[in-house]
Amino acid sequence: MSKKVKIDDLASSVNQIMETWSDEVVKDVNESIKEVAKESQQDLKVAGSFENRTGKYRKGWKIQFTESRLGLSATIYNKVYQLTHLLESGHAKVLWGRRTGETVKAFPHIEAVNEEAHRKLEEEIKRRIG
């Protein structure tokens, strides 16, 4: 009977350690996500070689953090959402409501920042967790 009590105590201690450890890991991952999202937002504000006439596009980058049962996630979006796709991919040139057959040059800038954010997040999580 005394062996069972010791095993139960050990199992309880292991469970408590695992819960504490997992809480610390979740906290570290969430902090990493917040840090990388803020860095990526700043990177997007200066990315791209296009002319930013009014400044609204560069200033329009925002972060939305969402907490779910899977954990924290961050979405970086632009309030001037119509321009993101047009700048990233280019588009047909339109004059007086008609397509001219020409295309407007693409200025890829979002994909590069996205790839860099994924790389940074992976490195940051590895650094924090060990």
Q: How far apart, in whole angstroms, are the C-alpha atoms of residue 86 and residue 96?
A: 18
Share of the chain above pLDDT 70, in %: 92
Mean residue pLDDT across the chain: 86
Q: Inter-axis angle of helices 110-129 and 81-89, to 10 degrees?
A: 100
Give the model confidence (pLDDT) of 15-59 as tens digits. 777 777 788 888 999 999 999 999 999 999 999 888 888 889 999
Q: How far apart, in whole angstroms, are the C-alpha atoms of residue 53 and residue 124?
A: 35
> 82 pLDDT band (50/70/90 cuts)?
confident
Output the pTM of the full model.
0.77
Query: What is the structure's pLDDT at 7?
Result: 60
